[in-house]
Amino acid sequence: MPGHDHSHDHSELSETELRVRALETLLTEKGYIDPPALDELIETYETKIGPRNGARVVARAWADPAYRGRLLADATAAIAEFGFTGRQGEHMVAVENSPHIHNMVVCTLCSCYPWTVLGLPPVWYKSPPYRSRAVRDPRGVLAEFGVELPKDTQIKVWDSTAEVRYLVIPMRPEGTEGWSEDKLADLVCRDSMIGTALALLPSNRKGAA
């Protein structure tokens, strides 16, 4: 597993996070913000807007072999073709699932995460249990997420760092030949790009009959 050389605070909550929580509490008490509305906004960025960027990248890789090659060779540059650049996404590496290998991403010391393509990190990604167990018992963790892999499937765990972040390219579901990239992107969820889920089946696609 790649080395992990962070240059930032590894505490449970950083000083910035503590300040944000204190400010949120103060604003809530004064009636300036509505917690349910804030939760809905966060949920939107966490599961819809941000991850859609990554889904477009994966869909292009599924549909365009040349782009897939560029993505695997230099993910940062290939992702930048969509205009997705900036902090937390400067040094990206794409890893591809296959029938024999399943990739899974963790950040064992804190919560380095590719915001550029996945949006806000899920709470569980930052939790100590996930950060430790993903390395010690990845198959068990995947089972808890509902992912049961064949016993002969190798599981590779990639440790994100302040310098390198990973994007998992899930396997393309069968029965999607000839689909447009937009339609394919509907099958790519955030967790499948972390490796804790598989791509959706065509029958589970949003709007499927």
Listed by start position, the domains of the chain span 17-204
Mean pLDDT over the full length of the chain: 85
| 112 annotated active-site | yes
Out of 107, 160, 189, 192, which one is annotated catalytic? Answer: 107
Superfamily of domain 17-204: Nitrile hydratase alpha /Thiocyanate hydrolase gamma (3.90.330.10)
| 111 annotated active-site | yes
Give the pLDDT band (50/70/90) at residue 49. low
| 189 annotated active-site | no
pLDDT 10s digits, 5-46: 443 444 455 566 567 677 767 777 777 777 777 676 666 555
CA 153/CA 94 separation, integer angstroms: 19
pTM for the structure as a whole: 0.77
Amino acid at 31: G
Binding residues for Fe(3+): 107, 110-112
